[in-house]
């Protein structure tokens, strides 16, 4: 009977197992790398972002702040020129907001009442959240919004008040009133930063207490009647 060197036998068995595993795993790894890094063209097919954008507990301790890591490791979606992956693993657009204005004069406002301005033309609407048929901005993401509204009143009555207001549904959340000292056109604006919930609906409204129902709002894309809404933080 030939004596068995157990240590040598163990080493031979280990090598045979490793060789067998390499034969199985290596082709799989190579194919994965080809798919992810597109070795034929030299271009990456996985979107990357800096680790400073991730901010997750235990993240990538072996990488410095300038290193790039696959976004797939930290959330779903694809980073591109319009959106990015935040530190809390939420995808956000680079910019989200709208500017809309009144394209034709809106006449004969009822005195003593807040009336919705028929904003029907968009300068821009990043995210497609403004409904020009119903004159409202629908909040897409819960967060803080910078809101500005302006109403350009025409045919005003002297010594009366004229206003501009932003409403969340039927609730007045921002506004301004101006007293007209003469019978001429007058501009009223308002601006505020408001915390809004996804699904909230914003309207620009005008107000006057002229005592007559003949005052109107002047149209135009610039120094006239418009609303801007911009998401600034979550």
Domain definitions of the chain by residue range: 6-86, 95-233
- What was the pLDDT predicted at 28? 61
Average pLDDT of the residues in 75-91:
58
CA–CA distance, 146 with 232 (Å, rounded to integer): 7
Tokens (6 digits) for 118: 């028929």
Class of domain 95-233: mainly beta
Average pLDDT of the residues in 208-217:
91
Per-residue pLDDT band for 96 (boundaries 50, 70, 90) equals: confident
CA–CA distance, 62 with 58 (Å, rounded to integer): 10
CA–CA distance, 234 with 131 (Å, rounded to integer): 23
Per-residue pLDDT band for 46 (boundaries 50, 70, 90) equals: very low
Contact 110, 99 (CB under 8 A): no
Report pTM.
Answer: 0.64
- What was the pLDDT predicted at 234? 78
**57-74 burial by CB neighbour count: b if 16+ within 10 A, else e?**
eeeeeeeeeeeebebeeb
Cα dihedral 115→196→219→214 (10° resolution): 10
- What was the pLDDT predicted at 155? 84
- What was the pLDDT predicted at 79? 58
- What was the pLDDT predicted at 220? 76
In tens, the pLDDT along 192-205 reads 999 999 999 999 99
């Amino acid at each position: 009977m030939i004596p068995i060197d157990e240590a040598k036998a163990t080493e031979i068995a280990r090598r045979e197992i490793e060789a067998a595993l390499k034969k199985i795993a290596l082709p799989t790894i190579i194919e994965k790398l080809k798919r992810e890094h597109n070795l034929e063209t030299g271009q990456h097919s996985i979107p990357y972002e800096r680790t400073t954008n991730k901010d997750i507990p235990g993240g990538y301790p072996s990488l410095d702040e300038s290193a790039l890591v696959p976004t797939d490791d930290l959330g779903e979606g694809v980073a591109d020129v319009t959106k990015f992956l935040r530190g809390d693993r939420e995808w956000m657009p680079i910019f989200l907001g709208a500017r809309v204005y009144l394209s034709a004069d809106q006449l004969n406002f009822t005195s003593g009442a807040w009336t919705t301005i028929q904003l029907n033309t968009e300068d821009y609407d990043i995210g497609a959240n403004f409904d020009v048929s119903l004159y409202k901005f629908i909040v897409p993401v819960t967060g803080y919004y910078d809101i500005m509204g302006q109403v350009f009143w025409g045919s005003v009555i002297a010594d009366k008040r004229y206003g501009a207001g932003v409403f969340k549904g039927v609730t007045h959340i921002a506004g301004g009133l101006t007293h007209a000292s003469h019978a001429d056109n007058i501009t009223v604006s308002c601006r505020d930063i408001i915390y809004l919930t996804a699904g909230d609906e914003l309207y620009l409204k005008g107000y006057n207490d002229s005592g007559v129902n003949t005052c109107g709002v002047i149209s135009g894309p610039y120094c006239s009647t418009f609303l801007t809404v911009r998401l600034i933080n979550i």
